[in-house]
Amino acid sequence: EPEVTQTPSHQVTQMGQEVILRCVPISNHLYFYWYRQILGQKVEFLVSFYNNEISEKSEIFDDQFSVERPDGSNFTLKIRSTKLEDSAMYFCASRAGMNNQPQHFGDGTRLSIL
């Protein structure tokens, strides 16, 4: 069964550094998402992406965050200048174009900011 893949599984970065989290959505999917889960807290929506543009973003997704689909397969989340509070598990998800299809999640990238 096709699945969403995320790399790396664990990223350790110094505070203030830029980080790029990578995702390969399921190949025929059209909607792409990023979520994060701070340890012990709920999974929170960050951003949705469709037709090469952001369709919705949460308050968390400020100017330090950006997303990109640089080619036909990858979907990336960039954090420009990481803060300690960015430490979390980041999940990528994708969904097919039809309305009655669910989101499928990757295994996540654990981001640790030192």
Partner 1 sequence: GEDVEQSLFLSVREGDSSVINCTYTDSSSTYLYWYKQEPGAGLQLLTYIFSNMDMKQDQRLTVLLNKKDKHLSLRIADTQTGDSAIYFCAEAFRGGGYQKVTFGIGTKLQVIP
The residues that touch partner 1, with contacts defined as CB under 8 A, are 6, 31, 33, 35, 41-45, 48, 50, 55-56, 91, 93, 95, 99-100, 102-108
Minimal distance, residue 104 CB to partner 1, in Å: 6
Minimal distance, residue 95 CB to partner 1, in Å: 6
Closest CA to 81 of 64, 101, 58: 64
Handedness of CA 78, 80, 86, 87 (dihedral sign): positive
Q: Which residues pair with 53 in a beta bridge?
A: 50
Closest CA to 21 of 31, 32, 30, 34: 34
Nearer Cβ to partner 1 (22/107): 107
Task: Provide φ and ψ at 97, rounded to 5°.
Answer: -75, -20
Nearer Cβ to partner 1 (79/93): 93
Nearer Cβ to partner 1 (14/100): 100
Minimal distance, residue 58 CB to partner 1, in Å: 8
Minimal distance, residue 96 CB to partner 1, in Å: 11
Query: By the 8 A CB rule, do 20 and 78 touch?
Result: yes
